[in-house]
Structure 1
Amino acid sequence: MLLAGDIGGTKTVMAIFEVERGATTITRHPVQERTFPSQQYQSLELIIEEFLQDCDYPISAASFGVAGPVVGGRAEVTNLPWVIESEALAERFGFGVHLLNDLEAVGTAVPHLERTDLLTLNEGQPVERGAIGVIAPGTGLGEGFLVWQTTGRYEAHPSEGGHCAFGPTTPLQLEMLNYWLPRMGHVSYERVCSGIGIPNIYTFLRETGHYPEPPWLHDALAEVSDQTPVIVKAAVASEADICMATLQLFMEILGDQAGNLALTVLATGGIYLGGGIPPRILPQLQQGPFMEFFRDKGRFSDMMGRIPVHVIVTPKAALYGTAYDALALSPGELAQ
């Protein structure tokens, strides 16, 4: 039995997967699963402890995908005041623990995903064993990539590309950068292309007078701590011009940055969109500006059109990845 965890700034999902015969694959569906609101807990240890109270299975290994950089078995969660250490967790719970970046976890799952786990935005012409890029707008903006190894499989690698400086590609985007630059200092892609970035786009459009804010929307946003779901819901339902414009700008920036990632790692094997936001806006991604901005790379535009682009629609991708990560570890590696 393998304990897998998807640790995010908004929620933490814990699951137990069973190793199928031959110890080369895991069960498609976890034998036990539970979701926790991350910000209501002071540490990951408390969540694991609570989850395992109702667990009758002997855990042989654990792996946790963390929304933040992982260095030397230690992770600081980007949007939570948590510090996670694999050795401390292993000592407390009595089984080996491995930590990996959340996008590294999603990347580890990519080779194991099925067609039903994906929605394709661009079929393209995938190159066998070509590098693969993963970009995931959720609470933050995660990025990662996969490279084919001589061992005959893909290996996932983390990245913090979401914190690179935002580069505008339209006059409106440039205006937004100039609005936020003196207020933030460093304007990263995550600040304008994620769950925490969508309210920043909205605020810019409202405060600069590009779109009025309807009174009902003002009241709705004032009642919630997380404004992103309200804005996205109103945009998808075409209920407010300012929300529709916010989502439009978000998709432009996401398409551009996904294209930047594809160029950076030469992702001829494909680009995969993960995170919690893309599955909520599938029609908009299919019909909106995403692919236009993805392809718009000057002399490389033709090549960009040949790169497959998929949306990961299964919410369990990171869990699959961490379970496969735990499965692949030898006992000597577990506490590293």
Structure 2
Amino acid sequence: MILAGDIGGTHCRLALFRDAGGALEAVHEARYKSREFENFAAALEKFLAASKPGSLEKACFGIAGPVQDGRCQVTHLPWVVDVRDLRRTLKLETVALINDFAAQAAAVPFFNDADVAVVQAGEADPTGNIGILGAGTGLGQAILAPVGADSRYLLVESEGGHVDFPAQTPLEAELVQFLNKQYHRVCVEHVLSGAGLKSLYDFFQARHPEPPPEWLEAELKRGDPPEVISRVGLEQRFVPCEQALHQFVTTFGAVAGNLALQVVARGGIYIGGGIAPKILSLLQSDRFLEAFRDKHKFETWMRGIPVRVIVNDRCAVWGAAHYIHSDRFVRG
């Protein structure tokens, strides 16, 4: 039996898998709200008590933060997770801790058509690098680079969400000035994340001549602000919500295009995270693709890069299981 997990700033998903003739089959899954637990050990204890796994062979956990020497301070949680503690708790020798977007990347070679939605068809080079990025609680990135001719991949983790925000227009320069009041240094994650979507709304609301309607203020107070803003923006019910969502999509396209250039992603770009599937119609729009392709001399080249949105919200936990079960990954 294989234990796998996706440890995020908002949710923690855990699952048990068994080998069914060389393929993985999930036998028990659970998703918890991360902040309901003092630490990951408490969430793991609850899952193990409910699932009663019996004999475990291997375990792997994708975690939202940089992993160094088997240890991670979760970026958006006061949790520290250490692979040595996990080995003792689980009484297992084979335990891996990898970045959560490395876990998403490890799922990519096993995707079928139902796991993704096409944004740009492109033409994938099977020997080309693959870039993965996605917005949720934060902004994650990872890279898959084919190794040799035996379907193996070098899996490279990234903290690309923390690079400087690339303002390209007067409006975006004004946005940076606005965000500088809140952050010492404005990075991409301050725009491309759930909190970033709320910051974009605040920015456009400050420029809007009318105050927000009472019904919207009530929804923002009692609900999840990024979800409310994206829903109201899609429904075109309040202009600053629409503007925030449009800027979010434009920035998403530009940053996805930057990643494609940075890693020479002839194998494609995959967009994961919790936000993308909810705004899929806008990611499939000209707004996203124009920003993605707008790379001067490389515009024609960018049109050939396949772009897919990951619509399977379980891909990170499946990727963690594939990573520990398969011999197809070399970690960079």
Higher alpha-carbon deviation: 263-272 or 285-294:
285-294
After superposition, the CA RMSD in angstroms is 1.7
Aligned with residue 328 of structure 1, among 311, 316, 326: 326
Give the secondary structure class of the aligned counterpart of 1:70. coil
Deviations 1:118-174 (A, max 9, x none): 101101121121000001111110011100112532232110001000011222111
- Partner residue in 1 for 2:193: 194
- Partner residue in 2 for 1:104: 102
- Partner residue in 1 for 2:57: 60
Please tell me whether residue 77 in structure 1 is matched to residue 111 in structure 2: no
Aligned with residue 279 of structure 2, among 281, 298, 304: 281
Superposition pairs for residues 123-272 of structure 1, below 5 Å?
123-150=121-148, 151-209=150-208, 212-224=211-223, 226-272=224-270
- Partner residue in 1 for 2:85: 88
- Partner residue in 2 for 1:45: 41
> Hey, what's the Cα distance between the residues in 1 that align with 2:220 and 2:118?
33
Deviations 1:257-282 (A, max 9, x none): 00000000000100000001111111
Give the secondary structure class of the aligned counterpart of 2:51. coil
One-letter identity of the residue aligned with 1:81: P
One-letter identity of the residue aligned with 1:209: H
> Hey, what's the Cα distance between the residues in 2 that align with 1:190 and 1:303?
26
Give the secondary structure class of the aligned counterpart of 1:319. helix
Answer yes or no: is the 8 Å Cα contact 1:133–1:145 preserved in 2: yes
- Partner residue in 2 for 1:15: 15
**Aligned-pair CA distance for 1:60:** 1.2
> Hey, what's the Cα distance between the residues in 2 that align with 1:317 and 1:157?
17
Superposition pairs for residues 114-125 of structure 1, below 5 Å?
114-125=112-123
Please tell me whether residue 305 in structure 1 is matched to residue 331 in structure 2: no
> Hey, what's the Cα distance between the residues in 2 that align with 1:104 and 1:11?
17
Answer yes or no: is the 8 Å Cα contact 1:212–1:242 preserved in 2: no
Superposition pairs for residues 286-297 of structure 1, below 5 Å?
286-297=284-295
Higher alpha-carbon deviation: 204-213 or 103-112:
204-213
> Hey, what's the Cα distance between the residues in 2 that align with 1:292 and 1:203?
25
> Hey, what's the Cα distance between the residues in 2 that align with 1:4 and 1:112?
16
CA separation of 1:55 and 1:219: change in aligned 2, threshold 3 A: closer
> Hey, what's the Cα distance between the residues in 2 that align with 1:298 and 1:120?
24
**Aligned-pair CA distance for 1:211:** 6.3
> Hey, what's the Cα distance between the residues in 2 that align with 1:131 and 1:161?
16
Give the secondary structure class of the aligned counterpart of 2:123. coil
**Aligned-pair CA distance for 1:197:** 0.7
One-letter identity of the residue aligned with 1:18: R
Give the secondary structure class of the aligned counterpart of 1:6. strand
One-letter identity of the residue aligned with 2:162: H
Give the secondary structure class of the aligned counterpart of 2:193. coil
One-letter identity of the residue aligned with 2:225: Q
Answer yes or no: is the 8 Å Cα contact 2:208–2:240 preserved in 1: no
One-letter identity of the residue aligned with 1:6: D
> Hey, what's the Cα distance between the residues in 1 that align with 2:126 and 2:323?
23
**Aligned-pair CA distance for 1:212:** 4.1
> Hey, what's the Cα distance between the residues in 2 that align with 1:210 and 1:177?
21
> Hey, what's the Cα distance between the residues in 2 that align with 1:327 and 1:251?
36
Task: Give the structure-1-normalised TM-score.
Answer: 0.93
> Hey, what's the Cα distance between the residues in 2 that align with 1:318 and 1:85?
19
> Hey, what's the Cα distance between the residues in 2 that align with 1:183 and 1:281?
26
Deviations 1:24-79 (A, max 9, x none): 4312xx21011110011111111111101022332211100001100110011110
> Hey, what's the Cα distance between the residues in 2 that align with 1:143 and 1:174?
24
Answer yes or no: is the 8 Å Cα contact 1:108–1:155 preserved in 2: no
Deviations 1:224-278 (A, max 9, x none): 4x41111111112222211111110000000000000000000010000000111
Answer yes or no: is the 8 Å Cα contact 2:140–2:161 preserved in 1: yes
**Aligned-pair CA distance for 1:179:** 1.3
CA separation of 1:211 and 1:108: change in aligned 2, threshold 3 A: farther
Give the share of equivalent positions with the same residue, in percent.
38
Answer yes or no: is the 8 Å Cα contact 1:64–1:99 preserved in 2: yes
Answer yes or no: is the 8 Å Cα contact 2:120–2:305 preserved in 1: yes
Q: For this pair of structures, how many residues does the alignment match? A: 326
CA separation of 1:16 and 1:269: change in aligned 2, threshold 3 A: same
